[in-house]
């Protein structure tokens, strides 16, 4: 019987700009910089999903 793939990791963040390298060191993927749109973004390499924490202003203003 085939196993179903694990669901992508979901990471809560406080910034609208994030980076992802796959988290596997040398076994990861090239580092990419992503910008959250509509409070979330998905890495095109590993499908890790970054979501803005509840209550955080998505304007990116500090």
pLDDT digits (tens, 9 = 90+) for 48-60: 999 999 998 876 5
Does some domain include residue 5? no
What is the model's pLDDT at position 23? 84
Distance of CA 21 to the CA centre of its chain: 10
Q: CA geometry: angle at 42 spanning 4 and 50, to 5°?
A: 100
pLDDT digits (tens, 9 = 90+) for 31-53: 999 999 999 999 999 999 999 99
* Domain range for 42: 10-52
Query: In the predicted model, is pLDDT for residue 9 greater than 60?
Result: yes
Residues 40/10/19/32 CA torsion (nearest 10 deg) = -90
Q: CA geometry: angle at 23 spanning 36 and 28, to 5°?
A: 105
Distance of CA 9 to the CA centre of its chain: 8
- Please report the sign of the dihedral spanned by the C-alpha atoms of residue 34, residue 50, residue 40, residue 6: positive
Does some domain include residue 32? yes
Does some domain include residue 2? no
């Amino acid at each position: 019987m085939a196993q179903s793939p694990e669901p992508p990791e979901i990471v809560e963040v406080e910034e609208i700009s994030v980076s992802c390298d796959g988290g596997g060191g040398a076994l990861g993927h090239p580092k990419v910089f992503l910008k959250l749109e509509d409070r979330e973004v998905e890495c095109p390499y590993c499908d890790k999903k970054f979501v803005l924490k509840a209550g955080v202003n998505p304007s990116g203003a500090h």
